[in-house]
């Protein structure tokens, strides 16, 4: 009897282990998933059956399987004589439920047969992506896996429909140029997560990246600058031309190639052609179109000249319309993004022609002049069957009639309540150029800010105050990688993942299905997939620090002066503590000379190095040795700081103690 019990327990243990190995780790989480008994095993020369709508997805799936396993897989549109299939994989639109919509799918994985059913090719594609995720992570490898891999998928029944139609990622290629092969690599990772929109930020102050045949100087002049800029090492990137200039651009054939590649992955590419601001690259090539003192030049940092397109010059509109005509021919997407953000109004205020135009059109201020400009461009865009999309600022002065808004600083509720479509992209949850960890010594340089994985996952795209009847106008959300300090693809990937994985779940999965603890469990497997794809991701590490206090403008002086915080309750064991000073608001930051730990006013240890916390922090983390606590001793932490260019800074101070190993 004892032996039988031990055997039963061993069998149960093995079954439990097998279940754990086969536990689905799908990202984004499906709408509904039911586990069934057993597993489905891939076999060499297995057949993938398709109907006409599924043929391309079938070939894609066979190629993916062949690439990872080294086996051959057949793709066939022929079924058995009685029309039934008993083994293999079937992709079909026959009998698909109308409730699946344009992107949903149903999947049943049995021990001998996988059936993926959808109304559209897109739905079939997403079902195939889920099947890939049910198989071992090695299925995402670009070459045949080494060793013996059990190519098994757990038996499941899945019904899956995305929550939002816009599930996006924005890549800024103006600050630093990424070639078409690098863009394709990002498209591959998007497809793995069922993301369907790439917002391609093609032009800005720092570079013009799209060939426009009517205006060749846009790329011969506007696509290049004297160096990498932004204080970055010249070797952080390889985007140099034969003459040593930094930059690059896409030919129209390059654009077509990337668009076609994305289409096969069911990803729509939205181009952004900035206007009327963020246009120094264009104005460097064609300065006669601008307002501002000139001469215009491509900056190596932020904008160095506040030049913008002049709405008082008919030739500026002619130029922009001709540019857009070529853009329309290249991009089949419904939306054309015109930027519209951070437009400096001073050039228009000082421009006599702009002021005369405002008087002629009865415009009260320069905000209304921008709205007038946007409405004129919208009429042209609408006349060509497209819809204008712009950042939050296009609301200022009045929103164009049919425009859609990409909300980064507010305005979603106002716009949606008036019947305008909105894409959510708030800085608080969607700016992936922000730091992922508070300890900047452990992170690559970033523009500033702090956006941990938890906060991305916590995004709720529907504004809390938006009435239910307007919820349909919230199209979805997207994560943005602005690349001021990101000059190569590996860095882009590190900043995007795993935060983009979290956003994929936010935009696809039902709100009620989201669970961060379960997401991080599935993320471990998803990271293995990314590793197989050669993607450089950041490993998720929960925040371990404690907020001990902060500072306000009244405490900051122009000359170095001490700030002090009580840390008695935090000195719980001997160890090493990392102290982080984090700027949160203000036009200026603070310079830091040193940080010290004191016991009853006597200094125990000091870390003296020059640090700065502000828009672009530099070494604001300090290491201190903490002794074993003594009863009755009062411990404080002191920092010697001064205002950097002003005294209006606000910030927080964090304590992260690592006790000594016993």
Stretch 129-137: mean pLDDT:
98
Over the Cα atoms of the chain, what is R_g? 28
In 3-state terms, what secondary structure has residue 389?
strand
Architecture of domain 546-659: Sandwich (2.60)
Phi, psi of 596 (to 5 degrees): -140, 155
Stretch 369-389: mean pLDDT:
98
For 166-194, letters b (16+ CB in 10 Å) and e give bbbbbbbbbbbbbbeebbebbbbbbbbbb
What's the CA gap between 106 and 92, in Å, rounded?
10
Query: Would the pTM of this model clear 0.85, i.e. be above it?
Result: yes
Tokens of 643: 């205002």
What is the pLDDT of the chain when averaged over all its residues? 94
Better pLDDT: 319 or 443: 319
C-alpha torsion sign, points 55, 61, 62, 67: positive
DSSP secondary structure of 253-300: HHHHHHHHHHHHTT-EEEEE---SSS-HHHHHH-GGGEESS------S
Q: What is the pLDDT of residue 487?
A: 97
Instruction: Quickly state the pLDDT bin for 10 (edges 50, 70, 90).
Output: very low
Long-range contacts of 301-308 (CB under 8 A, 24+ apart): 301/229, 301/230, 301/231, 302/205, 303/205, 303/278, 303/344, 304/280, 305/280, 306/344, 306/346, 306/347, 307/279, 307/280, 307/283, 307/347, 308/276, 308/277, 308/279, 308/283, 308/343, 308/344, 308/347, 308/348
Q: What is the pLDDT of residue 439?
A: 76
Nearest by Cα to 330 from 379, 382, 258, 264 = 258
DSSP secondary structure of 600-626: TTEEEEEE---EEESSS-BS-EEEEEE
DSSP secondary structure of 297-345: ---SSS-SS--EE-TT-HHHHHHHHHHHHHHHHH---SEEE----S---
| Cα→Cα distances 18→87, 163, 528, Å | 23, 32, 19
Q: What is the pLDDT of residue 82?
A: 54
Domain locations along the chain: 17-160, 176-510, 546-659
What would the pLDDT profile of 554-608 be if each residue is shown by its tens digit?
999 999 999 999 999 999 999 999 999 988 888 899 999 999 999 999 999 999 9
Fold of 17-160: Chitobiase; domain 2 (3.30.379)
Question: H-helix or E-strand containing 369?
Answer: helix 366-383
Long-range contacts of 10-17 (CB under 8 A, 24+ apart): none
Q: What is the pLDDT of residue 516?
A: 97
Question: H-helix or E-strand containing 415?
Answer: helix 412-417
C-alpha torsion sign, points 161, 163, 166, 169: negative
Q: What is the pLDDT of residue 305?
A: 86
Q: What is the pLDDT of residue 4?
A: 42
Asked if the model's pLDDT at residue 14 lies above 50, the reply is no
Does 2.130.10.30 match the CATH number of domain 176-510? no
Stretch 513-525: mean pLDDT:
97
Phi, psi of 348 (to 5 degrees): -70, -35
Stretch 464-479: mean pLDDT:
98
Q: What is the pLDDT of residue 266?
A: 98
What's the CA gap between 86 and 80, in Å, rounded?
9
What would the pLDDT profile of 274-283 be if each residue is shown by its tens digit?
999 999 999 9
| Cα→Cα distances 47→40, 59, 77, 171, Å | 14, 11, 10, 38
Asked if the model's pLDDT at residue 645 lies above 80, the reply is yes
Asked if the model's pLDDT at residue 11 lies above 90, the reply is no
Name, in order, each residue with C-beta under 8 angstroms of 478's C-beta and a sequence gap of 6 or more: 166, 167, 168, 169, 170, 197, 199, 406, 423, 424, 425, 430, 503
Stretch 337-344: mean pLDDT:
97
Beta-strand relationship, 105-109 and 387-391: unpaired
Asked if the model's pLDDT at residue 8 lies above 80, the reply is no
Query: Which residues are marked as active site?
Result: 204, 278, 342
Please tell me the least confidently modeled range out of 18-32, 104-118, 211-225, 524-538: 18-32
Q: What is the pLDDT of residue 19?
A: 42
What would the pLDDT profile of 258-296 be if each residue is shown by its tens digit?
999 999 999 999 999 999 999 999 999 999 999 998 899
Q: What is the pLDDT of residue 6?
A: 39
What's the CA gap between 581 and 577, in Å, rounded?
13
Nearest by Cα to 415 from 359, 340, 342, 357 = 340
Tokens of 334: 């419904």
């Amino acid at each position: 009897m004892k032996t039988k019990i031990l055997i039963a327990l061993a069998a149960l243990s093995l079954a439990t282990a097998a279940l754990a190995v086969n536990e689905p780790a799908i990202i984004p989480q499906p709408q509904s998933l039911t586990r069934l008994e057993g597993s489905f095993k891939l076999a060499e020369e297995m057949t993938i059956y398709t109907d006409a709508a599924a043929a391309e997805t079938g070939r894609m799936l066979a190629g993916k399987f062949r690439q990872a396993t080294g086996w051959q897989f057949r793709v066939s549109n022929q079924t058995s004589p009685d029309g039934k299939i008993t083994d293999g994989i079937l992709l079909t639109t026959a009998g698909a439920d109308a409730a699946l919509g344009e992107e949903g799918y149903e999947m049943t994985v049995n021990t001998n047969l996988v059936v993926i059913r959808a109304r559209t090719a897109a739905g079939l594609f997403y079902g195939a992506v889920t099947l890939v995720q049910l198989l071992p992570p090695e299925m995402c490898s670009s070459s045949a896996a080494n060793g013996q891999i059990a190519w098994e998928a757990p038996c499941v029944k899945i019904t899956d429909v995305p929550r939002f139609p816009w599930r996006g990622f924005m890549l800024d290629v103006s600050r630093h140029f990424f070639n078409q092969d690098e863009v394709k690599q990002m498209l591959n990772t998007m497809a793995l997560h069922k993301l369907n929109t790439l917002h391609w930020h093609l032009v800005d102050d720092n570079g013009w990246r799209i060939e426009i045949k009517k205006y060749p100087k846009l790329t011969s002049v506007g696509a290049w600058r004297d160096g990498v800029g932004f204080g970055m090492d010249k070797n952080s990137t390889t985007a140099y031309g034969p003459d040593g200039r930094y930059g690059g651009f896409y030919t129209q054939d390059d654009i077509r190639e990337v668009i076609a590649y994305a289409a096969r992955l069911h990803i729509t590419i939205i181009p952004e052609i900035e206007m009327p601001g963020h246009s120094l690259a264009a104005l460097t090539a064609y300065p006669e179109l601008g307002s501002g003192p000139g001469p215009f030049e491509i900056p190596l940092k932020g904008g160095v000249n506040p030049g913008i397109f002049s709405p008082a010059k008919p030739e500026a509109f002619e130029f922009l319309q001709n540019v857009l005509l070529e853009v329309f021919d290249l991009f089949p997407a419904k939306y054309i993004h015109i930027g519209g953000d951070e437009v400096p109004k001073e050039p228009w205020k000082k421009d006599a022609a702009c002021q005369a135009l405002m008087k002629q059109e009865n415009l009260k201020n320069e905000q209304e002049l921008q709205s007038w400009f946007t409405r004129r461009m919208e009429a042209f865009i609408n006349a060509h069957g497209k819809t204008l999309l712009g950042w939050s600022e296009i609301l200022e002065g009045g929103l164009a009639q049919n425009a859609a808004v990409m909300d980064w600083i507010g305005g979603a509720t106002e716009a949606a309540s008036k019947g305008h479509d909105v894409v959510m992209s708030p800085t608080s949850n969607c700016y992936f150029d922000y730091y992922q960890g508070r300890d900047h010594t452990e992170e690559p340089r970033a523009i500033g800010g702090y956006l941990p994985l938890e906060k991305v996952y916590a995004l709720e795209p529907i504004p809390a105050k938006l009435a239910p009847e307007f919820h349909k106008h919230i199209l979805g959300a997207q994560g943005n990688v602005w690349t001021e300090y990101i000059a190569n693809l590996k860095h882009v990937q590190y900043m995007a993942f795993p935060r983009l994985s979290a956003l994929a779940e936010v935009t696809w999965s039902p709100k009620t299905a989201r669970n961060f603890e379960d997401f991080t469990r599935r993320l471990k497997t998803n990271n293995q997939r990314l590793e197989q794809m050669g993607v450089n991701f950041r490993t998720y590490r929960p925040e371990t620090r404690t907020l001990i206090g902060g500072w306000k403008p009244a405490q900051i002086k122009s000359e170095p002066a001490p700030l002090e915080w009580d840390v008695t309750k935090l000195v719980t064991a001997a160890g090493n503590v990392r102290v982080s000073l984090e700027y949160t608001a203000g036009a200026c930051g603070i310079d830091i000379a040193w940080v010290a730990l004191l016991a009853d006013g006597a200094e125990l240890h000091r870390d003296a190095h020059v640090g700065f916390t502000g828009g672009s922090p530099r070494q604001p983390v300090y290491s201190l040795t903490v002794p074993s606590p003594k009863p009755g001793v009062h411990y404080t932490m002191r920092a010697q700081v001064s205002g950097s260019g002003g005294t209006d800074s606000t910030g927080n101070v964090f304590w992260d103690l690592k006790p000594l190993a016993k």
